[in-house]
Each structure stands twice: as structure tokens, then as C-alpha cells.
Homo-oligomer: A and B are copies of this chain.
Amino acid sequence: MPRPTPPAKEKPTPSPLGAHAEGVTMREVALRAGVSISTVSNVLTGKRERMKTETFERVSAAIAQLSYAPNLLARELKTGFVPIIGLIVPSVANPFWGAFASCMEHEARQRGCHVMLCNSERDVGRELEYAQAMLSRGIRGLILGSSPLSFDHLVGLTERGLKIVAFDRSAQETDLLDMDSVRFDNINGARLAVNHLLGLGHRRIAFVSGPTISCNRIDRLEGFRLAMREAGLEPPASHVWLRNSGSQGGDDDGTEIGRQAALSMLREPDRPTACFAINDQTALGIYSGARELGLHIPHELSVMGFDNISLCRVVDPEVTTIRQPLPELMHEALNLLFGRLDGSLKGPARHLILQPDLVLRGSTAALA
């Protein structure tokens, strides 16, 4: 990216009527108001009790006339305080993470700070690169949405003072890092889903996911297995789909996985009568595959999603799914983060777990 054009040799003449303002500094404001630079600073930082009203107004007027805005880089360098929190998600192109980021931004605004949002594309290198860039710019709080399997690469950053709250990931014993986390109870969410299907009479229930590269996937799989086992069922390996779609490029939003799984599983003689998809997009992929095979949802195949993205209500039939209360989660996440940042929260890492709930819609039906 281009460097800025070298500054003009001669000092720019003070603009005629304060019209433009490229690089107006406190000095110029002070000059114009006939006060010292520190008085201007006091106005800026709201310490107006330290001066008489007349002065305050003179300075304010000068600020307005010059349309002066403080250089945040300088201020933040000086104070060490940067009112921004970082947020790293796998990809905002994915509607779930889009909603996630939106909620986060909303909650952060309530607390007077901005959000710096980055996509990791599930690449640890990029995650590290972004986190590093943030910390080096004085950002001290980071929400990590991407939940990689290990946090080891982030150790250096926490040692340099970065506070991290992870989403969807509690530390394991093997972790070098024990960081705060918030998440939904994925095991229980999966259980909710499977129990719903069991309650409808289904026995041949398939689990459809890409590779279990993240903790939530592992947990959802475990919840699936647990619930099945509790019902005395042991799903055959062919009913547990953990494959990548094999599609080229990173464009894979889960839909293709679901489609492939459906096309493969649903042709078998002992085909599942219900599918529990790792997320809503995958569920929609199953819709697509089932349609191609001429199977009617929900009468010939029940489908459950996970996440409750807004798409669920758009398709026919609407997708029965598991809802995760995002705004509450964000609230808790920022409570943790701010607690660490202001030192009010001490001690070992906290791990908050919020309960998801079942959203009953049209994609599941009792077994004929």
C-alpha cells in the first residue's frame, strides 16, 4: 500500500478562514485561542472546571473554527489506553459469524468502545498475525471467535498483556494457556436435538458435519453420541459423516458438505430417517441433496439444524434448529474481558456456559 505523499516543504500557510484542516494540531488551536497547549488539552479531556468559562468557550470556538480533531494515535501512545477491542472470527461471509460480529459490535458500543474485526479463515497464522497487529496498536482485549483446537500460538501475546476471551472453547488440560471463555452448551444442544428426533420415533439418525476441526463440532458430535447411547442406540459409522466437501477454495460454507452427505447416505437401503446437521447451512445442503433424490422433508426425512440463522425461516419447510442466545453471550464475554482489563476480575480462568434451546419448526416430523 502506498506511503503518503511527502509533506510539502514549506509550512502550510494558516488557512484563511479555518476552512480546511489537514493536520490541524493542538498548537494551532492554542495559538488561535491565545492560550497554552495544555489548556486546550484540558478542554479536550473535559476538565473544564480548571479554567474560567470564558477561556473554555474561546478554546471551543477555536476548535470548531479549525475543525480540529485530536490525533488519536498520539493520545493513545501517550496514555496507553485504546478504546477498541479486537474480534477475530473465521469468516464474516458466513451468516452466523456475521450475526456474531453484529451482536458484539452492538454490545461494545454500549460500553463506549469500537470493535476491530478480522477474518482468520481458520488459519492460525492469520489469527496470530491479526492478534499481534492489534496488541502492537495498544488493543488489550480480544474476543476470539474462531476456536481453534489449540491456543498455544497465542501464549506470547498473553504474556505481553493481551487479555483474551475465547468463544466456544474451554481450555483442555494439555493447553499451555488457560483463558476465559464463553460458549454455548454444545453437548446439551446436540442432545436436545437428538432427543427431539428420538421423541418423534426416529432411530436411524445421522450426524452430518465437516471434519471436527473445532471444539463445538467435537462437542456436538459427543452430544449426539451421548443421546443416542442413552436411548440404547449405537449409530453405524456410515451414519456419522465427518468429511469435507472436497470443493476447491475456501468458499465452503457447509452447504456443500450437507449436500454430499445427503446424496451419499440417503441412497443406502438402511438410510437414516433423520439427519442432525452440525449447523443450519449444512442442514440446507441436506435439503438440496434430499430434493435431488426426491425425498420429501419432513415426511420422508427429518432434518435438524443448529444455530438458528435467519435463513431457517426462509426455506420450506422452515428449519427446526437449536437457538443460541448471542446477545446474552456477548454481554457475558465483555463482562469477563472488561473484568480482566480493569483488574476487577482476578484468579483462574472462568468458563461460562449458556444453554441453547430448541426451536421447533417444520423440518422434523414423527416417523410414519
A347 sits at the interface (CB 8 A): no
Q: List 9 A-B contacts (CB under 8 A).
A: A1-B83, A20-B160, A21-B160, A22-B159, A69-B160, A93-B102, A114-B130, A287-B314, A288-B314
With both chains docked as a complex, state the minimum distance between the C-beta of A9 and any C-beta of chain B, in angstroms.
15
A177 sits at the interface (CB 8 A): no
A291 to B21, CA, bound (A): 57
Interface residue ranges of A111-141 to B (CB < 8 Å): 111-119, 130, 132-133, 135-138, 140-141
Q: Determine if B314 and A67 form an interchain contact, defined as CB atoms under 8 angstroms apart.
A: no
**Using an 8 Å CB-CB cutoff, how does the interface string of A257-269 with B read, 1 for contact, 0 for none?**
0000000000000
A290 to B10, CA, bound (A): 68
With both chains docked as a complex, state the minimum distance between the C-beta of A157 and any C-beta of chain B, in angstroms.
9
Query: Closest residue of chain B to A70, judged by CB?
Result: B136
Contact surface of A with B, Cβ cutoff 8 Å: 1-5, 7, 19-24, 67, 69-74, 76-77, 79-83, 85, 91-95, 97-99, 101-102, 105, 111-119, 130, 132-133, 135-138, 140-141, 156, 159-161, 251, 253, 255, 281, 284-285, 287-288, 291, 310-311, 313-316, 338, 341-344
Chain B residues whose CB sits within 8 angstroms of the CB of A343 once the complex forms: 5
- Given A67-B156, A113-B1, A285-B314, A161 contacting B95 (CB threshold 8 A): no
A138 to B99, CA, bound (A): 29
Chain B residues whose CB sits within 8 angstroms of the CB of A285 once the complex forms: 314
With both chains docked as a complex, state the minimum distance between the C-beta of A269 and any C-beta of chain B, in angstroms.
26
